[in-house]
Structure 1
Amino acid sequence: MLILRGFAAARRGFSDRQREVSLYVMTRRATMSVMPAEGQRVSPSVSDAEGSPVECPCCCYRTLHERANFEICVECGWEDDGQSGRDAHIVRGGPNGLLSLAQARLEYLAAAEDPLHESSAACGGEGMWWAAAQEQLRNLL
């Protein structure tokens, strides 16, 4: 019985964190997405308009040119392999290694908890991940 209580408590903790991520994703979509006109159908795999970016499945910023094209988001560093909210908890391996989309969202939330840095896409910058990657490269040289 004690083992089951511990399992239930662990599930509640995971569930609360998952709800936090889901709320974040829904909020980002509500504030950043352009709503289609009534009767208009928008495909999630193609840009809304010619040259208009689509949102990253991890950070929800519109930083990708096309969904599921293995493009790396400049804001969060997620390589878009087509994974979506339906299977966000699954670790696919491949370009994102041992990260599931859900875990990558949690890590991005933790990194973005600090006040937005000028390099963030939210502030019109080049993206937090891209700025950090360039800084690391400069430190190697």
Structure 2
Amino acid sequence: WGPWAGRRGFDSLVQAGYGIAAVCGGGGGGRPGVPGVLPAQALDHGTGYLVAAGVLRALAEGGGRGLRFSLAGTASWLVRDVPAGPAGPAGPGEAGYAAEPWLREVSSGYGVLRYAGAPVPFGGWGRGPSRWGSDRPVWR
């Protein structure tokens, strides 16, 4: 489905190819002109989450749905911003897909954190993460 369709994916290389490494480099606290990296393999994780969400949606709709995901597709989606629009028949990564009905908010040490709600009714976070180094080192 594109110029990289026949190639294997490697998160860091796809980040570099889409300019994510450049955005996280010099202008973001690093040395000017030196590419940086995200603190996690965000494309691996993000694509995995999209696959899981797609499978859950297909199962909820009775199964039998073809799903196609790629690291480059996730990078493209993130770089060009997640499209807003009404919820409809579109799936994750498709035009017109709206995530808002599944998003939740919780307070954290960094402000309000938006996250995807759990696919089961008993899932969810009681509180958000605290600021790094602010928790006392105690056993619970």
Which range, TM-score by smaller chain? under 0.3
Q: Between Structure 1 and Structure 2, which shows a larger proportion of strand residues?
A: 2
Q: Between Structure 1 and Structure 2, which shows a larger proportion of helix residues?
A: 1
